[in-house]
Structure 1
Amino acid sequence: MSKLAWQQPKRGFSSVYVVAALGLLVTGLPFMNASPITLADFEERRDRLANALVAEDADAFVVEPGYTFKYYGNVSQPEWEVWEPEERPFLMVVRPQEDETGTVKANTTFLCPSFEAERARLLGMPFRDSIQIVPWEEHWNPYRTLQQANVFSGLQRHPRLMVDEEMRDFIQRGLATVGFDVVGLKGKVEEVRQIKSDKEVDILRAVNTGTVEAVRQIRKCLYPGLTETDIAVALDNALRAAGLEPFFDIVLFDENASNPHGGTNGSKVLESETFVLIDVGAHLYGYSSDICRTFFPPFLEKPSRGDTLSPRMLEKLKVWDIVFEAQTQSIHQMRENSTASSVDIAAREVITDAGYGETFTHRVGHGIGIKAHESPYLNQGNLDSLLKTGMTFTSEPGIYLVDKFGVRHEDVFLVQGDGEPELLTGSRAIGPWDP
């Protein structure tokens, strides 16, 4: 049988999607109360960036289409280069400039291939006035063109350009070759995107709460014989019914979940004592959800006190609780000025003390925003990154027992000063029968 054949969901499984979608819609979608990012929001971001550049002694921030360009200019890499990453540099150059009152504002220029200049204007980027373009012809050196334009006139030094982590090496080298002082992303400039506005938090709360609710509705509809692929397809469709756009889902049963990101073919069949791990992400207004739940299917009756359980079931229940406690302890560390490493270590100690230390094989979490995985990263070696109010993170500890099963719990949190972080996923899991 071909790979495509065994990945196709079986006939009749669509009832899972229909019932789950109806269950989701019946809630009234109370979490869907966020508003999209506006022109004023983009202007405010660029102005914060300009002030951060002054604080970091940088003359400009330079970025090519990607997540960070999307954050400041609402253009992603696929929106600019639908065929493949382009070899011709199209760069957004944001500089700090004082207005007549002495207030630092952003002044933005675009380095653009001449023949693409009109297409750049047609993108409708979030600027009140016509965008400023420095065009370059195909036979010119684009980096020297930028250097010789009046963008950096008046500087008494080689312009110091801070570049985003997504900036490709050949562009960085090209800028440096013509005399620009190129430095990497850091400090206050990096924090502009890391620290979320109230509107960004609202969107993250909506998309993550909605994604968790979709998983809960899907669980109610599961029946024996479904495959991992069946559930993934149904979940994607349920998310779309709620107005969210899925961009990844990982559905793994039992031993398949002992590899955190899967790798198997999706054909494993659901049985009564199966541990189901679902890790899924969706988008709303460009912002990401990233949540994970591990649970038993609804047709497995929850045991009562005194019931005799198999050793395998007992271990599953034990591990579920350990991972949950590890997540709890990591959450307590998500406070202003805690180190990124302390969040990871808090979870890791719980799992290690329980005798499963070697089975927790990845970091405990990461920042989340317009990109599902963004800095700061919560790993035990990240001693330098300090958490700040307004940063948003996942907490996703796990235990992975090869050839047995895997357990992971993942929620999203907002750092709030010295207090406990705010949960942005509605509610945490309660138990393996109530994710």
Structure 2
Amino acid sequence: MNPDVTTELYPPARLAQVQEATAEAGLGALLLTPGPDLRYVTGYDAIQLERLTCLVVPGEGEPFLVVPRLELAAAQASPAGALGVEMVPWDETDDPYALVARRLPSGLAAVGLADRMWAVMALRFRDAMPGARQVPAGRVMGRLRVRKSPAEVAALREAGAAIDRVHRLVPGLLKAGRTEREVGRDIAEAIVAEGHARVDFVIVGSGPNGASPHHELSDRVIGHGEPVVVDIGGTMPSGYCSDETRNYCVGEPPADYTAYYEVLRRAQQAACEAVRPGVTPEAVDAAARDVIADAGYGEFFIHRTGHGIGLETHEDPYIVAGNTEPLRPGMAFSIEPGIYPGEHGARIEDIVVCTEDGFERMNLIDRALTIVD
């Protein structure tokens, strides 16, 4: 990545913000192992290994990054190397958990552990600091990550454009007689070719498989006249994710499918138009759900309306009944109502960002059903 872009996405001031939030939360330290939290704070996309890599952010005092000596060069070459944070290498015969404990003040009441930390690492930290209560670091990191900066929104916009380009290729890949797995393989290749660093998921749900929201690719042969749900996403070199669902039919679709698909389009549009600062996620969910229920399909909408997205495909905020935390500018999330009667199913998904006065879509491809000859 361009160094200027990296600095905008992972600004040096972020470490100080995290430290301030750690102290405000009453935590003695945050312990961030490889994963989205570590990358958010430092830009370092560290490999998750059985050897401990951990950014230690104390409530007071200087942060430091503990790394296996064989990973030191990679850590120094990453954006973390430009932060001026001390890097503490450890050797194969060292105990890195004890090393962390020794460098922190004794008697800490509580520490925050990265939400994606391996359980075995959490247990080792518990043994090294038996008096410290362990809490999820998400209590601190969540409220920082949930509102995207302009640079983050730009990264999501780039991810949305890349996955749009893949969906434009899908009609040329879908043909009666091909299997879901064959189509999925071609889509996966296109995801990387269109700019993603890696493929996160490919769902190609034909016929009844389209009624399973998280269907895995199978060897089912796609038949003529069958609707197909295509839900795809990946991670860009920036670290930010894409996620988009569109619907296709090989030949003319069944009449009952066409009827509920138009309901679904209206529901997805209603939910998007409900997005603005101050509105609750549960109200956005209700905007989609009410349209579907009023048309008689309520029992077939079996999941929440959306999930946050950023350095993870699924993160806060969740667009679901019961979430009453008001939306604020910079929050990014999917709007993806679905209807799944059984013989087939449909879901329309866009990533949107809450703006100062409404919303912006990251995905711009037409939401109409695409008929493939």
TM bracket, shorter-chain basis: 0.7 to 0.9
Deviation at 1:146, TM superposition (A): 2.4
Contact 2:176 2:223 in 1 (8 A): yes
Contact 1:43 1:127 in 2 (8 A): no
Find 1:319's aligned residue among 238, 252, 260: 260
Deviation at 1:398, TM superposition (A): 0.5
Do residues 410 (structure 1) and 349 (structure 2) align?
A: yes
Write the deviation string for residues 367-424 of structure 1: whole angstroms up to 9, x where unpaired.
Answer: 11111111222221334x332211110011101111x10000000000113x221111
Letter of the 2:362 counterpart:
L
Secondary structure of the residue that 1:46 maps to in structure 2?
helix
Contact 2:307 2:318 in 1 (8 A): yes
Contact 1:37 1:199 in 2 (8 A): no
Write the deviation string for residues 228-268 of structure 1: whole angstroms up to 9, x where unpaired.
Answer: 22222222223333222433211121211111122462332
The separation in 2 between residues aligned to 1:246 and 1:189, in whole angstroms, is: 25
Secondary structure of the residue that 1:347 maps to in structure 2?
helix
The separation in 2 between residues aligned to 1:122 and 1:224, in whole angstroms, is: 47
The separation in 1 between residues aligned to 2:322 and 2:200, in whole angstroms, is: 29
Aligned to 2:111: 161
Aligned to 1:18: none
Percent pairwise identity: 26
The separation in 2 between residues aligned to 1:206 and 1:345, in whole angstroms, is: 29
Contact 2:8 2:151 in 1 (8 A): no
Aligned to 2:14: 45
Aligned to 2:33: 64
Contact 1:320 1:407 in 2 (8 A): yes
Q: 1:351 to 1:40 in 2, by over 3 A?
A: closer
Letter of the 1:133 counterpart:
V
Do residues 386 (structure 1) and 326 (structure 2) align?
A: yes
The separation in 2 between residues aligned to 1:336 and 1:416, in whole angstroms, is: 7
Write the deviation string for residues 316-343 of structure 1: whole angstroms up to 9, x where unpaired.
Answer: 1111111112212222332223322222
Secondary structure of the residue that 1:405 maps to in structure 2?
coil
RMSD: 3.0
Aligned to 1:5: none
Find 1:148's aligned residue among 102, 107, 126: 102
Find 1:227's aligned residue among 179, 182, 185: 179
Q: 1:368 to 1:382 in 2, by over 3 A?
A: same
Aligned to 1:94: 57
Write the deviation string for residues 87-128 of structure 1: whole angstroms up to 9, x where unpaired.
Answer: x54321123569xxxxxxxx421244xxx2352343323233
Contact 2:6 2:43 in 1 (8 A): no
Contact 2:9 2:151 in 1 (8 A): no
Aligned to 2:296: 355
The separation in 1 between residues aligned to 2:217 and 2:162, in whole angstroms, is: 27
Stretches of structure 2 lacking an aligned partner (at least 5 in a row): none
Find 2:87's aligned residue among 128, 132, 155: 132
Q: 1:267 to 1:431 in 2, by over 3 A?
A: closer
The separation in 2 between residues aligned to 1:146 and 1:338, in whole angstroms, is: 43
The separation in 2 between residues aligned to 1:269 and 1:186, in whole angstroms, is: 42
The separation in 2 between residues aligned to 1:136 and 1:240, in whole angstroms, is: 36
TM-score (structure 1 length as normaliser) = 0.75
The separation in 1 between residues aligned to 2:281 and 2:109, in whole angstroms, is: 33
Q: 1:234 to 1:35 in 2, by over 3 A?
A: farther
Secondary structure of the residue that 2:10 maps to in structure 1?
helix
Count of residue pairs brought into register by the alignment: 364
Aligned to 1:258: 211
Q: 1:130 to 1:172 in 2, by over 3 A?
A: closer
Which structure has the bigger radius of gyration?
Answer: 1
The separation in 2 between residues aligned to 1:117 and 1:389, in whole angstroms, is: 42
After superposing the two structures, state which structure 1 stretch, 354-363 or 230-239, moved more. Answer: 230-239
